[in-house]
Homo-oligomer: A and B are copies of this chain.
Amino acid sequence: MTVDEDSLRLAEAMVFAAAAPVTARQLAQVLPESADAQAVLSALAARYAGRGVELAEVAGGVQFRTAPDLAFRLRKVVQVPRRLPRVAMETLAIIAYHQPVTRGEIEEIRGASLSQSTMDTLLELGLIGPKGRKDAPGRPTLWATTAAFMTQFALRDLRDLPRREDLLVEPPDAAAQDGNQSST
């Protein structure tokens, strides 16, 4: 299927302008009826491949983002927030894999109590949100990850997370170096 230049320009403008990922469905609303939104997005991604700004698939849509290899040089001029502390990252991982999950269950998995500030940090960043209450004594709040979580960590959807069984095999020493290590 060929994609006409007009649709491509429109898609480019729309995705560029948006603050959040744009879905094919949202794009279809502004495209002419004859256009295939999915095909337009594919053509757009191809056009930007290898450039300083690339089209990334995240949170069920697409979003322009700077190419990862430029991060080092861009950090000098673009303001970068602090990375999340280890506890927050662990809590986030537990919520991502066990959602919806209560605070008590998170503490049970971590074998340690969870500070309010950790929950507050994740909530303020919009990475987690309440998702109903558990049918249990006290009806504790259930927590789940949000669309912002997927946007933040470049996930198309939750199925992009590695399977639990595939997560384990990391050499002990490598795991001990917190932070900048890539996936196993």
Copy number in this complex?
2
In the complex with contacts A12-B52, A52-B9, A52-B12, A17-B76 CB distance below 8 A: no
Instruction: Evaluate contact between B52 and A13: CB separation under 8 angstroms.
Output: yes
In the complex with contacts A8-B52, A10-B73, A52-B10, A66-B16 CB distance below 8 A: yes
Interface residues of A in 1-40 (CB under 8 A from B): 8-14, 16-19, 26, 29-30
Interface pairs (8), CB distance under 8 Å: A10-B70, A10-B74, A12-B53, A13-B66, A13-B70, A14-B52, A14-B78, A18-B77
Residues of A within 8 A of B (CB): 8-14, 16-19, 26, 29-30, 51-53, 64, 66-67, 70, 73-74, 76-79
